[in-house]
Structure 1
Amino acid sequence: MIKVVFWSQTGNTEAMAEAVAEGVKAAGKDAKAVSVSDISAKELSGEEVFALGCPAMGDEVLDEGEMEPFVEELIPSISGKKIALFGSYDWGDGEWMRSWEARMKEAGAVLVAEPVICNLTPDEEGLANCKALGEALAKA
């Protein structure tokens, strides 16, 4: 089962996570969207393929309460893993996602596709991009 781990404050990133999971399922694999509070980095570190989603917070950074500590703990075990990144934002230009992507690549992760970002509530195009991200994840 491919896990789509996310943190969401308003529900926007959660909707994206559900769409990523739908895309994985459409490509013939099993998937589950899981809140970051319901899984440990240690549990996820054994997986070879997964997705991570988090909105931009504060000065275009990951949520510092749950997601940042989770990612920090996951980094030592991420080399060689096939991952997808996604998230929503309200302001800025996606700097938080570019930084997150660079950080994951530096740690050795293999991104299966370009990260997907949506401004505020994901529209039909944004959800379609999330589904495509899930399909790419399933084929990894």
Structure 2
Amino acid sequence: MMTLAVIAGCATELNGPQKAELQWYRNKGMAIEEKDASTAAWLGILPGGGSFYTRNYGIGVVNLLCWPFSVLWDPASGYNGAEMLNYTSTVSVVEKKRNAELRDLDAKLGAGVITKEEYFKQKAACEKRYTPDL
């Protein structure tokens, strides 16, 4: 059971490119902070707290059952879970904004409000605004 808890107890950590991407969004003021990673880590001291806070309910139950041993991994699991939630939320929101802006440009081009040259110029600016330059 302890092996299961250790394997299941750690939320997936962001990989290097994801960390860099999230930091880029944070620097640009576009990041969505759905859960506070520090709070998630601190709650990991409580039985399953970090996992429950980051909506990893199954892992939270395992950590609850393995308490007090789960305090060895749940703070890191909570932190990683919060960062993963923040990353996925950010990517989703940014993608929706980007797509809405591109649809608006397509509509303007189709209606003849802007020229093809202006369309391509604005489209390139939109892509640059929403695409991390890592």
* Same fold by TM-score greater than 0.5: no
In terms of fraction of residues, the more strand-rich structure is 1
In terms of fraction of residues, the more helix-rich structure is 2
Report which structure shows greater RCO (CA 8 Å, sep ≥6): 1
Q: TM-score normalised to the size of structure 1? A: 0.22
Q: TM-score normalised to the size of structure 2? A: 0.23
